[in-house]
Amino acid sequence: MSSKPLPILPGATLGILGGGQLGRMFTLAARTMGYKVMVLDPDGASPAGQMADEHVQADYTDLAALKKLGVACAAVTTEFENVPAASLIELARHCRVAPSAEAVAIAQDRGHEKTWLADNGFATAPFTLINSEADLDAALAKTGTPALLKVSRFGYDGKGQARIGTLDEARTAFREFGGLPCVLEGFVKLECELSVVLARDDAGQCERFPVAENRHVNGILDVSIVPARVPESLTQQARDMACAVAHKLDYVGVMAVEFFVADGRLLINEVAPRPHNSGHYTLDACVTDQFEQQVRVLCGLPLGDTRLLSPVVMLNILGDRWKNGGPHWDALLAQTNIKLHLYGKQTARPGRKMGHCNVLDADLNTALQLAEQIRNGL
């Protein structure tokens, strides 16, 4: 790699693979700090492309586009896990790339990720890899019912998942998923869900943001409540486990670890090699937000202070709200303690993340009530 010396300072150009909302918020953070940003995304109207100094509109495997990015940028990162590992390897021939292709590759595939977690001693929900229909019977005997069948690759926000009660249902779901490799997971009785967003730098220092308590609806994050309303011992354990995962991966960058809490125990659900939806609260409630942290770690700068400045509830705003004439922004914006973030997406679809807002209040329950009121009134 022909890397520029660290730290990379304002004035330099940074690159990001992926032009979605995470890329957009990275771009905004980087530009605020005086960096130029180049986005690679095939979509001409991507949320990040609208904000970048330059948008390279090409496929993630386009070698000429990757070279252009790698030559122009001092460092490149990614906003999503499905970027081909080969593209990161290609980029690394020209510039600094963080996180590494190896770390991203583990999180790309549910089966690979769960196997890696189990092999490294991290607790997960019981699971079995499914490569053919013939595997389903024995797998169901192991996990019991109900269970969840999840496609190993390209599933997100509850997509590519089916709840399974019988062998027949498992067979039908497996066929509906095109017979692709899947993971069959035991259905866990969740007490709650938590997540930890962290950054780990080249020297192995790990800075964690406060633990978020996450509530999902239909498999999609609805609200993150911070600080999480669980015993301190559990949040400490979650923070430690998240760092242990980052150390084991020798990870450099921002990442998120999602946890299930069941029987008072933490099980790792997923690892995301990027900033995370459940870390959006940091934009308005922490000294440093997760996107500034992504810029800092990419540039080899000291990691920012992750202190929480106020209790906060993050509410996702989904495309469903655009039915019947669109959201009532006036009611939301009439509240002076709510910060609105919209992603510039041109088409609203049910389940599509269009934006979020952060409700800040000295009293967490008041913030939660207001977030729910806004959600129901939008």
Q: What count of other Cβ atoms lies within 10 Å of the Cβ of residue 45? A: 14
Q: What is the DSSP string of 224-277?
A: EEES-SS-HHHHHHHHHHHHHHHHHHT--EEEEEEEEEETTEEEEEEEESS--G
Q: Does 138 bind ligand AMP (CB under 6 A)?
A: no
Of residues 147 and 298, the one with the C-beta less far from ligand AMP: 147
- Nearest distance, CB of residue 109 and ligand AMP, angstroms: 13
User: Distance between CA 286 and CA 315 in Å, rounded?
Assistant: 16
User: Distance between CA 196 and CA 210 in Å, rounded?
Assistant: 7
User: Distance between CA 36 and CA 360 in Å, rounded?
Assistant: 31
User: Distance between CA 210 and CA 232 in Å, rounded?
Assistant: 11
User: Distance between CA 40 and CA 16 in Å, rounded?
Assistant: 6
* Range 265-324, binding ligand AMP (CB under 6 A): 269-270
Of residues 146 and 179, the one with the C-beta less far from ligand AMP: 146
Report helix angle 167-176 to 136-143, nearest 10: 120
Q: Does 63 bind ligand AMP (CB under 6 A)?
A: no
Cis peptide before 10 (omega within 30 of 0): no
- Nearest distance, CB of residue 126 and ligand AMP, angstroms: 8
Structure tokens at 377: 């009134």
Of residues 148 and 212, the one with the C-beta less far from ligand AMP: 148
Per CB under 6 A, the list member of 42, 84, 158, 181 interacting with ligand AMP is 158
- Number of Cα atoms under 13 Å in the Cβ half of residue 211: 25
Per CB under 6 A, the list member of 193, 201, 207, 292 interacting with ligand AMP is 193
Q: Which stretch binds ligand AMP (CB under 6 A): 53-61, 134-142, 180-188, 278-286?
A: 180-188
Q: Which DSSP state fits 304?
A: P
Three-class secondary structure of residue 89 per DSSP: helix
Strands (E) in 73-200, as ranges, are: 75-78, 96-97, 127-130, 147-151, 161-164, 182-186, 192-200
Of residues 88 and 148, the one with the C-beta less far from ligand AMP: 148
Per CB under 6 A, the list member of 79, 90, 113, 185 interacting with ligand AMP is 185
The letter for the amino acid at 152 is S
Per CB under 6 A, the list member of 105, 125, 266, 283 interacting with ligand AMP is 125
For residue 178, count CB atoms less than 10 angstroms from its CB and return exposed for 0-12, middle for 13-18, buried for 19 or more: exposed
Of residues 98 and 256, the one with the C-beta less far from ligand AMP: 256
User: Distance between CA 184 and CA 165 in Å, rounded?
Assistant: 12
- Nearest distance, CB of residue 269 and ligand AMP, angstroms: 5
Q: Does 216 bind ligand AMP (CB under 6 A)?
A: yes
Q: Which stretch binds ligand AMP (CB under 6 A): 72-80, 111-119, 134-142, 181-189?
A: 181-189
Note whether 287 and 307 are within 8 A (CB).
Answer: yes
Of residues 149 and 332, the one with the C-beta less far from ligand AMP: 149
Of residues 66 and 149, the one with the C-beta less far from ligand AMP: 149
- Nearest distance, CB of residue 278 and ligand AMP, angstroms: 10
Q: Does 109 bind ligand AMP (CB under 6 A)?
A: no
The letter for the amino acid at 184 is L
Q: Select the residue whose beta carbon is closest to ligand AMP and give its number.
A: 188
Q: Which stretch binds ligand AMP (CB under 6 A): 1-9, 22-30, 182-190, 335-343?
A: 182-190
Closest CA to 65 of 45, 84, 90: 90
- Nearest distance, CB of residue 158 and ligand AMP, angstroms: 5
Of residues 150 and 296, the one with the C-beta less far from ligand AMP: 150
- Tokens 């008041």 found at: 366
Q: State the binding string over 242-271 for ligand AMP (x if CB under 6 A, else -).
A: ---------------------------xx-
Q: Does 129 bind ligand AMP (CB under 6 A)?
A: no
* Range 13-52, binding ligand AMP (CB under 6 A): none
Q: Does 112 bind ligand AMP (CB under 6 A)?
A: no
- Tokens 């967003």 found at: 197
Residues that bind ligand AMP (CB under 6 A): 125, 148, 150, 158, 185, 187-188, 190, 193, 216, 219, 269-270
